[in-house]
Structure 1
Amino acid sequence: MSVTITYQNPNSITFIFASALTDWRKNIFERVFSILALLCFPVYISSVYLCINIKHWDLVVFDTLVYGIFLLVTFASFIPLKVRFIVGSTMAYIIGVAYLFVLGPAGAGFFWLFIYPLLSCALTGTKSGYIAQVINFFTLAIIGLCYYYHWLPWPKIEGYSFFIWCVIALNFMVTNILAMLICGYLISIMAKNLSLTLNSRYALVVGLATALEGSNIDTQQHIHRVALYVKMLAEQFSRSAANEKDVVTDTDNLMLASMLHDVGMSDVPDELLCIERSLSLDDHEEIKRHCAGGARIIKEMLRCDNNCPMLQMAKDIALYHHENWDGSGYPQNIAGELIPLSARIMRLVDVYDGMTSPRHYKEISGHSKAVAFITQQSGRIFDANLVRAFLLVENEFAKLNPNSHLSEPQVYG
């Protein structure tokens, strides 16, 4: 899921969900090409063996080079995704042309040329698919002319002629265009449905959070601001993580889940939430109920989709976001890494936002005091590794401080 967060000022934050098609394409590319990398290994070995037997040393070098590039674009995540898509689909074209030039219609050239436009369409868009079709057309025309003038060392095929080549090439193009049109149509429908699903889920999360926490503009901006803090901190923590288990791989779902951290406040009496005096011990105990209450609400939602990662994180956050690193928190007094990472992130963010945002029952502490408090409580209330990550992005947090005013709109994505 890809999301861009925009704000004109700290009190006007909105989310814009981009198409989820890029993430879908990335998943399809990595899964399909990983399987192909394994399946093509025996094909590569057999092809090299065949080429050695017929003394086509140029093809041995070519096959080795192509398979090496194939492995590189499949597994080298440091290469930009669009480059991997383009190279991956172009590989099918190169392999197809090589087979047709050397082995003619008896080889697998037509197969690889057939999937070239389909891959281009699926990975980089319908326009790329049409360009691939045009390239295929001229490629087949050029190869046909080379065959007609006997410039190609094809193995002899009894009864095969230039006319047969033209008929096969024409049928190939018609079938290929039809398959690509179907592929493009299905992808466009899927992209539309993915976009509707993401926006609907976002609307439901915001609607539920504001309905249960309090349906006013301050609440909406609070949950959006907290979500953005969570995204910033999780991404920085992942970049500086020493262990794989500390890498947050789904920051966008975590961001949505964080919006539901206080849905359990619906269990707390309204008069207690609006109280302006100091809270008594009984008041504190009453408010503490919101953790278990929020987890209960989200658990009921999970009955409809027990495998939803966003709701799983939301349940952890709602239940554990007041647990402290040293075990002095509530409601279960768990400590250290027993506290889910999502809840540890939310704990720090919740304290920061509470100290830097207007509250009817206390004065604003401000950004500097919040940073000082979080630093002081490192290893006590907060995970020390998270505090170190927070200090690297605290200037970004300051830009969202409700008491700071920015003259120009900012964009985070």
Structure 2
Amino acid sequence: MAFSFANSLASGVISNGIFFVTEHGYQFDRVKNYALAGATGVVYIVGALTAGRAVGALRARYGVSERGVLVALMFVFGVLCAIPQVAWWMARDGSRPPESPIWISVIGYQLFSGALWPIVESYVSGGRSGKDLRRALGTWNVVWSGALVVGIMFIAPLIQEHAVLSVLLLGLIHVSSLAVLPWFPNRPPEHVEEHHEAHPAVYSKLLVTFRVLLPTSYTVLTALTPFLPFAAKSLTESAFLQGLSPIAWLLPRCVGFLVLDRWHGWHGRWAMPIAGGILILLGFAGAVLAPWLALGTVGIVLFLGGLALFGLGMSTIYTGAIYYAMSVGKAEVDAGGTHEGLIGLGYTVGPTFGLLAALGVSQGVISERGFEPAVLGAVGVLALAVTGLVIWNIQRRVRG
């Protein structure tokens, strides 16, 4: 769990903070930042979906274990996180370094991040089923999501003052997590069906449903996150309250993971995906519409309340998706790879909406003031349509 905490903290802050580096250090405009975000989503998918085959090939050809792959990945992250700082050191007369190193660093980082988490998930889930699997995944969800809360509260503010150096230091956190790998077995424990309880047949159907909702939820997240600072500023002048906007959904997500870890009444029930989809929609609507519907205390409460509902929806969908994926997929790396690949799909679709809207603004098709409504409106329609189809399909299954 310490390994997951350290790597989640570093990757979460880097994934969000790197765009501060590109905007202020490299003067990336909106189009370039969204293009970079979309590219990172694509390579994350590639890394996630090929992780299982890559690990298998390395084991067959060179005898490298999963633990050996994790060791290599930590060094790779350290090098990739050092590239922006080295590029600045090498720039002459304090001039801006070329853009190519930052593209290589960010895209490479997300490619290998996509490969990292399926391996970690296999270690967490391997050799477990039923109650043991639920307990392990529940604890793991609380740990990695809690790390993001800590990172945003205490480390992310440093990026605003020392962006490039902060990325380098976060790379050192990756490297420092090598200290706990000697306690890892060479390979994740295998899932032997005869020794573990078989999953109910409904789990496979629930997995399909959650795999539709999972990328949708991350599409909404990638569209909502850039909007939060502007919405918070329009509602209050308090820097403290403005700073609460990311915590307002990250902390409820962590609490949601904890509740779903302790309460097991959701297992095998169709109400779970319905609740997750509705919470995402209500939370998104509350956060987005708050600046237009109300001002002052009412607006702030609506905004923060919407984000809290959104965080609970994210925890509901993620918990169902990872639990059924590892139950049905027998805790293999490929099962985690598909799960992470779907997250990567959300990381791709969301920025694509932003990129298209940004290109529309640059071409004069969309006004500057119309950028955010265009992105948020398109994503909202997509989320509403997907959730509606999921609920309709569930009702049809239940009645049938």
Shorter chain as normaliser: what TM range? Answer: under 0.3
Greater C-alpha Rg: 1
Structure with bigger helix share is 2
